[in-house]
């Protein structure tokens, strides 16, 4: 009959298989009962493993505040920098949370709000921004707009009763900076300028070493910042227009060299000299003239004897480096002010070393949490005060004057 199985044989086979299965089931049940009672052929079984509580481990970073205790932030301007860096950083902070967005593009604003869990009531346009006065979920307004708009939007936010965190440069002119300081003072609100680099771990370690005297007296600083400008890109278009940018590569990226020399020396310059390499009106990419300077070099003399040699440019590949030459060591931050991947190399007589420090992206978290702490503690922020931002603009105006005239220009003291 080949492979054919008769009905009788099938039934017999089925009965045998059923009996085998029943036997296995009985054995399994017996084994389970034995395990439950702690009985086995070899003696008592060990107790089954159980989850157990453990003490709190040592935390790399303190726990974040509960959401209701964090300060609510409204971000004004949803461009490349805000979306790719600052909004993700807000989510990593201890003391901050995103509660509102402000944009001239309603579709973009709604999409960003939905992605970050901001309700429809927290979506504002540039036109209806002033109703934010009644939004009790917003404590801080973060201004991430072109430079020429910083003063007006800081004043609007202060009038609405909000603290203000403003991107650098603080404004275009000294007079605008004073307006911003005065507006926040009248409203009884805090103001901080977004100087992120001092919160970056490698820069912070360089500051610590220099303040502690580990490198000795500073002799020279060399600081260079440059990147290609592409006016065809939306993120760069306004930077090529003096009416919106107020200045060129100096205001945009040269400010890192300027402010870096200030926080590394712990001093303010007393004199500047400068020269334009590509003055306003020089051809840019594609040959079209650009009405802000694309290249400038300057030196700053400090009261303690140090001299800083600085450059900024819109026409060379990405360079963001600062080097400090001191009597017992040199410190090379290269890159110094990138969003990620910065390095610090210290060279002494006995050799070179590269300290292993935290991730560079923590600089954004650090500055945001510092402002939140300053607000809670009713004090000025430790970095990025209004007067600091004002003095950078004052110095940059003197650098432009020195470049125009070809003469050294004294810098009045901060006041």
Question: What mean pLDDT value characterizes the chain?
Answer: 91
CATH number at residue 87: 3.40.50.720
CA distance 409 to 393: 15
Residue 29 lies in a domain: no
- In the DSSP assignment, the letter for residue 383 is S
- pLDDT (tens digit per residue) in 216-248: 999 999 999 999 999 999 999 999 999 999 999
Whether the CA torsion 110, 113, 119, 123 is positive or negative: it is negative
- pLDDT (tens digit per residue) in 112-121: 999 999 999 9
For residues 138 and 273, membership in a common domain is answered with no
Boundary-marking domain end, from 146, 166, 193: 193
Residue 14 lies in a domain: no
Count of CA atoms in the C-beta half-sphere (13 A) of 50: 5
The domain in which residue 74 lies consists of 67-193
* Strands of the sheet with 351-353, listed across from one edge: 351-353, 344-348, 330-333, 319-326, 218-226, 307-313, 295-301, 271-278, 409-410
Strand partners, 205: none
Percent of the chain at pLDDT above 90?
A: 82
CATH number at residue 202: 3.30.360.10
Answer yes or no: are the C-beta atoms of 372 and 95 closer than 8 Å. Answer: yes
Q: What is the pLDDT of residue 42?
A: 56
Q: What is the mean pLDDT of residues 271-289?
A: 94
Whether the CA torsion 412, 199, 318, 78 is positive or negative: it is negative
For residues 116 and 147, membership in a common domain is answered with yes
Q: What is the mean pLDDT of residues 236-264?
A: 97
The catalytic residues are: 168
Instruction: Name the pairing type of β-strands 295-301 and 123-124.
Output: unpaired
pLDDT at 33 > cutoff 80: no
CA distance 238 to 347: 41
Residue 155 lies in a domain: yes
Band of pLDDT at residue 293, cut at 50, 70 and 90: very high
Boundary-marking domain end, from 131, 166, 193: 193
Q: How many angstroms separate the first and last alpha carbons of the chain?
A: 110
pLDDT at 254 > cutoff 90: yes
Whether the CA torsion 265, 413, 148, 406 is positive or negative: it is negative
**How far is the CA of 393 from the CAs of 99, 145, 168, in angstroms?**
31, 17, 10
Whether the CA torsion 316, 317, 320, 322 is positive or negative: it is negative
Q: What is the pLDDT of residue 68?
A: 85
Among 7-11, 217-221, 312-316, 358-362, which stretch is predicted with the lowest mean pLDDT?
7-11
In the chain, the number of structural domains is 2
User: What's the pTM value of the predicted model, to 2 decimals?
Assistant: 0.87
For residues 221 and 255, membership in a common domain is answered with yes
Q: Which of 375, 396, 293, 381 is nearest to 95 (CA)?
A: 375
């Amino acid at each position: 009959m080949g492979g054919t199985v008769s009905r009788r044989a099938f039934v017999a086979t089925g009965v045998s298989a059923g009996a085998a299965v029943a036997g296995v089931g009985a054995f399994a049940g017996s084994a389970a009962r034995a395990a439950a009672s702690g009985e086995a052929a070899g003696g008592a079984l060990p107790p089954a493993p159980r989850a157990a509580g453990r003490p709190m481990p040592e935390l790399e970073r303190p726990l974040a505040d509960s959401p209701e205790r964090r300060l609510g932030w409204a971000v004004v301007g949803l461009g490349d920098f805000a979306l790719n860096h600052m909004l993700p950083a807000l989510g990593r902070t201890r003391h901050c949370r995103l509660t509102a967005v402000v944009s001239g593009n309603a579709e973009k604003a709604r999409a960003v709000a939905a992605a970050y869990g901001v309700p429809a009531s927290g979506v504002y346009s540039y036109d209806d921004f002033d109703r934010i006065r009644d939004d009790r979920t917003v404590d801080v307004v973060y201004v991430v707009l072109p430079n020429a708009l910083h003063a007006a939007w800081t004043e609007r936010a202060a009038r609405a009763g909000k603290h203000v965190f403003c991107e650098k440069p603080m404004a275009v002119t000294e007079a605008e900076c004073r307006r911003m300081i005065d507006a926040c003072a009248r409203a009884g609100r805090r103001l901080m300028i977004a100087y992120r680099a001092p919160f970056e771990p490698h820069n912070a370690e360089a500051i610590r070493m220099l303040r502690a005297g580990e490198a000795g007296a500073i002799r020279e600083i060399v600081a260079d910042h440059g990147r290609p400008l592409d006016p065809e890109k939306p993120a760069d278009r306004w930077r090529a227009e003096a009416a919106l940018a107020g200045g060129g590569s100096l205001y945009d990226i040269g400010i890192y060299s300027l402010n870096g020399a200030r926080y590394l020396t712990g001093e303010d310059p007393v004199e500047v000299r400068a020269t334009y390499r590509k003055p306003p009106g020089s051809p840019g990419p594609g040959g079209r003239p650009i009405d802000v300077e694309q290249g400038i070099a300057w030196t700053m003399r400090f009261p303690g004897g140090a001299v800083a040699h600085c450059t900024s440019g819109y026409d060379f590949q990405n360079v963001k480096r600062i080097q400090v030459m001191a009597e017992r060591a040199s410190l090379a931050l290269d890159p110094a002010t990138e969003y990620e991947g910065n390095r610090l190399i210290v060279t002494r007589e006995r050799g070179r070393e590269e300290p292993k420090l935290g991730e560079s992206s923590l600089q954004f978290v650090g500055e945001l949490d510092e402002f939140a702490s300053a607000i809670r503690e009713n004090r000025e922020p430790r970095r990025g005060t209004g007067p600091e931002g004002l003095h950078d603009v004052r110095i940059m105006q003197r650098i432009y004057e020195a470049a125009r005239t070809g003469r050294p220009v004294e810098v009045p003291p901060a006041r």
